[in-house]
Amino acid sequence: MQGFYGRIWYGVQGAKGTAATSFAPIGIIGRANRRIPAGLEKLFGVGSWNAMELSEGMTLGEVGISIAALEDPHFCQYARRSDVTGELTWLTIKMGYVKGAEVYTSVIQDCKMDSLGLRLEAGGRISVDLSLIGGKVTNTAADPGDMSNLDARAYRSFEAVWDEVLDLRAFSLDVRNNISPIPVIAGSGTTRDPDRIWDYLDEGRNDVGGSLTYRAGDVTRDLQDCLLTGADHDLVFTSCGDISPAQSMTISLTGLKLESEDFQLQADADVLFECPYLATDWEITG
């Protein structure tokens, strides 16, 4: 069975435990997977070198999505926490396949986006890797829906500009929300899922970083002399393809500082300055 039989969608939930009522496509997906770890633990007793029991622990749903060419920034925005509550949005992921009369749908409810990795090489397209942690998983012999691609509105890097004089050869953004699934010993007022699923998805610290790769050899930052100051930066992308009017997308980075500078001389490639960075916040709009 080839991958073009597959479908994948996402829906926004109003709250944990409330199913999404409408679904939207994500874009040009290169790969998507759903994994359910059983949470098994080996229990050993004195005098036995074999496990005496395989105990069932907490389970969850893990979702991985690779976007081959970013068409729409809306799904990526759910990796950013609310400015008001500091929390991530609850999502439902629906994925499956259709091959004639053979159909399958897996619905992963109560998801939050744990990490986002955005990559861009000059002359190419924006690719994104996303990971989500979810709760209840329901599998059915049902049609997951029609094709899950959007209309062509992918963004090309050579149509992008950013607010610094120096040119970039490559750019990346990595966001990690450090989500932890937390079970509880429930109080009398707690509504529990009957399955072995966590009760809370706690957001940890927000790690934002990435790398800037400069092509030109005139990068003058003196990292050893601590002359680098934090700055806000914007990268603006415009859509390609037959789209009228043209669409735009902006990646905003707050308080960016370079971590290091790697000066690279290569026999068969450009002279490069590769600079990992950290930032205090980020946002994608468009």
How far is Cα 152 from Cα 154, in angstroms, rounded to an integer? 6
Which pLDDT score is estimated for 228?
Answer: 67
* Domain-embedded: residue 49: no
CA angle 134, 26, 208 (to 5 degrees): 65
* Domain-embedded: residue 43: no
- Given a cut of 70, is residue 59 above it in pLDDT? yes
**Mean pLDDT of the 74-94 span:** 94
> Residue 207's domain spans which residues?
3-38+54-285
Q: Between 5 and 3, where is the model more confident?
A: 5
Q: Is the dihedral of CA 161, 171, 68, 106 positive or negative?
A: negative
Place of tokens 């749908």: 105
How far is Cα 55 from Cα 135, in angstroms, rounded to an integer? 20
* Domain-embedded: residue 76: yes
Name the token pair of 175.
Answer: 């966001």
Task: Quote the mean pLDDT of the chain.
Answer: 87
Which pLDDT score is estimated for 271?
Answer: 82
Q: Between 151 and 117, where is the model more confident?
A: 117
| pLDDT tens track for 15-57 | 999 889 899 888 888 899 999 998 899 999 999 999 999 998 8
Q: With CA atoms as reference, report the closest residue to 285 among 243, 245, 234.
A: 234
The tally of domains found in the chain comes to 1
Give me the amino acid identity at 277.
Y
107 within 8 A of 94, measured Cβ to Cβ? yes
Which pLDDT score is estimated for 28?
Answer: 84
220 within 8 A of 150, measured Cβ to Cβ? no
How far is Cα 43 from Cα 206, in angstroms, rounded to an integer? 35
- Given a cut of 90, is residue 251 above it in pLDDT? yes
The model carries a pTM of: 0.90
* Domain-embedded: residue 206: yes
Q: With CA atoms as reference, report the closest residue to 240 among 126, 155, 149.
A: 155
Which pLDDT score is estimated for 174?
Answer: 98
Q: Between 104 and 150, where is the model more confident?
A: 104
**Mean pLDDT of the 239-257 span:** 82
Name the token pair of 186.
Answer: 């429930």
| pLDDT tens track for 103-149 | 999 999 999 999 999 999 988 889 999 999 999 999 999 888 776 66
| Of the candidate ranges 70-84, 132-146, 176-190, 235-249, the one whose mean pLDDT is the lowest | 235-249
Which pLDDT score is estimated for 226?
Answer: 61
* Domain-embedded: residue 48: no
How far is Cα 158 from Cα 235, in angstroms, rounded to an integer? 12
Split at pLDDT 50, 70, 90, the class of 219 is: low
Which pLDDT score is estimated for 133?
Answer: 97
Which pLDDT score is estimated for 149?
Answer: 63
To the nearest whole percent, how much of the chain has pLDDT over 90? 50
* Domain-embedded: residue 162: yes
Place of tokens 């680098």: 228
Q: With CA atoms as reference, report the closest residue to 69 among 135, 133, 150.
A: 150
Split at pLDDT 50, 70, 90, the class of 190 is: confident
**Which range, 85-94, 178-187, 233-242, has the best average confidence (pLDDT)?**
85-94
* Domain-embedded: residue 125: yes
**Mean pLDDT of the 188-206 span:** 85
* Domain-embedded: residue 47: no
Which pLDDT score is estimated for 231?
Answer: 87
Preceding omega of 245 cis (within 30 degrees of 0): yes
Which pLDDT score is estimated for 217?
Answer: 62
